[in-house]
Each structure stands twice: as C-alpha cells, then as structure tokens.
Amino acid sequence: MRIDVLSIFPSYFDGLTLSLLGKAQDAGILDLSVRDLRDWTHDRHRTVDDTPYGGGAGMVMKPEPWGLALDEVTAGSEHPTIIFPSPAGEVFTQKTARELSVRDHLVFGCGRYEGIDERVFEYAASLGEVRLISLGDYVLNGGEVATMAMVEAIGRLIPGVVGNPDSLVEESHEDGLLEYPSYTKPSVWRERAVPDVLLSGNHGAIAAWRREQQLERTRRRRPDLLRAADADA
Ligand code: ADE
C-alpha cells in the first residue's frame, strides 16, 4: 500500500518509522511518504494560510498549495482515497480501518488553523474518493495526530504487517465487543490470583469465561456498542 501524508509539520511523523510500521516499510509492504505542504508554496514566506472571507476568528488554509500538492501526489494513481482528518467528519472505527486497509493508495491531508478552503475538498473529489474522518468528538490542533492514529490502525491490518494474524482477530472491536482480560505469570502477584478457570486446561470453559468477560465489560464500559449490535441484528 502507498500512503502519502501532506502536512506543514512533517516531523510529527518521524515516529511512524519506528517499530511495526517501520518494519513494514523496510519489507516493502508499506510505502509511506510524508511531504511538507510548504514545498508547494511560491512566496518568500512559504505562506499556507490567509484570513477568512466573511470575517471571523483564525486563519484558513489557502487552496493553491493544496491543489498543487494533491495534483503531484495523485499523478498516475488510479483510485486514490483522499482523507482529510476533521472533527466535522464521519467517526473513525475499526470498520473504517478494515475498509481502508485494502486500498492501493491513501492520501492524508492534514489541516491546521481554522480549516482548509472548502473548494479544496470539491477539487480533491475530481482526483479520487474523498473522506472527511474524525477521530472522535473532541478537537485537536490539526490533522497530524489523527493521521498518525489512522495510519497505525490501518497499517497493522495490511497482510504481513502484524507477524501473527491471530492476534488481530481476538482484540477489542473486531467482533463488536471489548477484549477479554489477559494474565501471565506469576499466577499470584501481590496477593492477586489469576482466575482459576485459566489454569484449568479446560479450553471450552476458558472460551466461555472469556466470552462472558467480553460481554460484561462491554455492558459496563461501552453499552453503546451492544445497542449498535442489536440495531444491526
Ligand atoms: N482535527 C482536529 N480535530 C480532529 C479530530 N477530532 N479528528 C480528526 N481530525 C481532527
């Protein structure tokens, strides 16, 4: 998979070359390229923002650098998916991550300030599929942190990135429930014992206990997930 990130703070993404995603890049499974939006400005100050038409607080990102950057990174790409992280977008979930993990080419456009000139989204739709995606109902200073979260969630689903694919199946959100609790040695630690069933060797009983734990946790912490599953059924 090819991923291009456009940002005025490219160094935010240095961490993405570490660990799992770094190995995926070394192995040629993931081709990640982070580009500075200011490279597509043509004035001395490398200006990317300006005051909003109609007045109001803050600055708006100018369309020209975005247009040139999007033209360049999507040139020759058949079906790019162009993602703008935004608190005004659809909410990112594991389902979104799965859907995006099978695309050939993702472009992330990280906005800053009060947002990006609206015409950029219209223009981007002529180059590929455009998605405005929110990490959740809170406001970040820009799209960089949201992009990092999405690239990690998507990247680890690409076949070959996570060494043992079984570990992807049994985690929170994969079956609409939260993950069951895990324990390792020692069997007693600071007077706290591991639940007996996990030491029993009875695989049926262990599976049943884990399922019950998943349901109980989800009921307690995330009842909205159970309601959503009921509505789907
Ligand atoms: N940019 C600012 N806030 C955001 C959020 N909640 N999700 C994605 N991008 C954002």
Rounded Cα–Cα distance for residues 45 and 219 (Å): 54
Least confident of 52-56, 70-74, 173-177: 173-177
pLDDT at 143 over 80: yes
Percent of the chain with pLDDT over 70: 100
Q: How far is the CA of 129 from the centre of ligand 1 (A)?
A: 19
For the stretch 147-180, pLDDT in tens is: 999 999 999 999 888 877 787 877 888 889 999 9
pLDDT value of residue 172: 81
> Are the CB atoms for 34 and 136 separated by under 8 Å?
no
Mutate to test the pocket of ligand 1, among 86, 90, 137 (most ligand atoms within 8 A of CB): 86
> Are the CB atoms for 97 and 147 separated by under 8 Å?
no
Q: How far is the CA of 140 from the centre of ligand 1 (A)?
A: 5
Rounded Cα–Cα distance for residues 217 and 227 (Å): 14
pLDDT value of residue 12: 94
Ligand 1 atom closest to the CA of 141, numbered from 1 = 2
Ligand 1 atom closest to the CA of 135, numbered from 1 = 7
Among protein residues, the one whose CA lies closest to atom 5 of ligand 1:
87
Q: How far is the CA of 10 from the centre of ligand 1 (A)?
A: 17
Pocket residues for ligand 1 (CB within 6 Å)?
Answer: 85-87, 134-136, 138-140, 142-143, 146
Ligand 1 atom closest to the CA of 111, numbered from 1 = 1
pLDDT value of residue 202: 98
Q: What are 60's two structure tokens?
A: 């708006």
Phi, psi of 231 (to 5 degrees): -65, -35
Q: What are 184's two structure tokens?
A: 């390792």
Q: How far is the CA of 42 from the centre of ligand 1 (A)?
A: 28
Report residue 37's pLDDT band, with 50, 70 and 90 as the boundaries: very high
Averaged over 45-50, what is the pLDDT? 98
Q: How far is the CA of 199 from the centre of ligand 1 (A)?
A: 44
pLDDT at 19 over 80: no
pLDDT value of residue 116: 98
For residue 28, give the DSSP letter. T
pTM of the model: 0.94
pLDDT value of residue 87: 96
Q: How far is the CA of 146 from the centre of ligand 1 (A)?
A: 6
Averaged over 21-37, what is the pLDDT? 92
Report residue 52's pLDDT band, with 50, 70 and 90 as the boundaries: very high
pLDDT at 76 over 80: yes
pLDDT value of residue 170: 78
pLDDT value of residue 165: 79
Ligand 1 atom closest to the CA of 138, numbered from 1 = 6
